[in-house]
Amino acid sequence: MTPPAALARRGTGRIAWIDVSRGWCMLAIVAGHFYLPWNQHPALFDLLYAFHVPAFFFLSGLVFNPGKRSFPRFLYTRARAIMLPYVLWAFISVCIFAVLGSVAAGSLGRKNPASFTTMLKDIMWATPSAHHMDWNKPLWFLPAIMVTYLIAWATAKLIEGNRIALAVITVISLLPSWFLASHQEVWYPWSFERVGVLMPFFFLGMYMRPIVNHLPIKYPLIEGLDGIGLLAIAAAISHYNTTTVDYVARTYGNYANFVAAALVGIAGICMISRAWNIDDLTRIGKMTLGILCTHKFIVLAVQIVINSLGMEELITAMGPIPQFVLDNSLSVGFAWIITAACFAVCIALKYLAPWSIGLPGKGIDLRHLVPKEKLLQLLAQVRMPSLPSLPRRRKRPQGRRVQQGPPSRPTRPRRRSGGGKHAA
**Sign of torsion, CA 156 158 163 166?**
negative
In the three-class reduction of DSSP (H, G, I as helix; E, B as strand; rest coil), residue 72 is classed as helix
Would residue 386 count as lying in a domain? no
CA distances from 240 to 142, 179, 243, 256 (A): 30, 21, 8, 11
**379 located within any domain:** no
Instruction: Select from 132, 136, 27, 149 the least CA-distant residue to 89.
Output: 136
In a domain, 415, yes or no: no
2 forms beta bridges with 277
Question: Is the pTM for the entire model greater than 0.85?
Answer: no
In the chain, the amino acid numbered 211 is I
First CA to last CA distance, the chain? 126
Domain coverage including residue 208 = 4-357
Count of domains forming the chain: 1
C-alpha separations of 421 from 284, 414, 415 in Å: 118, 18, 14
Distance CA 63, CA 83 (A): 19
Residue 390 makes CB contacts below 8 A (sequence gap 6+) with: none
Radius of gyration of the chain (CA): 35
DSSP structural state of residue 418: S
Q: Which residue type is seen at 384?
A: M
Judge contact between 204 and 56, C-beta under 8 A: no
Q: What DSSP string runs through 143-208?
A: HHHHHHHHHHHHHHHHHTT-HHHHHHHHHHTHHHHHHHHH-TT---GGGHHHHHHHHHHHHHHHHH
Task: Classify residue 409: in a domain, yes or no.
Answer: no
Q: Is residue 390 part of a domain?
A: no
Residue 400 lies in a domain: no
8 Å CB contact between 4 and 275:
yes
389 occurs within a structural domain: no
The Cα 220–Cα 272 span in angstroms is 9
Residue 380 domain-assigned (yes or no): no
Q: Which residues of 345-377 are buried (b: 16+ CB within 10 A; e: fewer)?
A: bbeebbeebbbbbbbeeeeeeeeeeeeeeeeee
One digit per residue, the tens of pLDDT, for the chain of length 424 reads: 555 544 455 445 678 899 999 999 999 999 888 875 555 555 677 888 889 999 999 999 999 988 888 899 999 999 999 999 999 999 999 998 888 877 776 666 667 677 788 888 889 988 888 778 888 999 999 999 999 999 999 999 999 889 999 999 999 999 999 999 988 777 788 999 999 999 999 999 999 998 887 788 888 899 999 999 999 999 999 988 888 888 988 889 999 999 999 999 999 999 999 999 889 999 999 999 999 999 998 988 888 888 777 776 777 777 677 777 777 778 888 889 999 999 999 999 999 999 999 988 776 665 555 566 665 676 666 655 555 555 666 666 665 555 555 555 556 666 655 555 444 3
- Asked whether 34 and 303 are in contact (CB, 8 A), the reply is yes
- CA 45, CA 173: separation in Å to the nearest integer? 27
| Cα(266)–Cα(231) distance, integer angstroms | 8
Candidates 344, 140, 170, 172; CA nearest to 250 is: 140
12 DSSP 8-state letter = T
- Which amino acid type is present at position 129? S
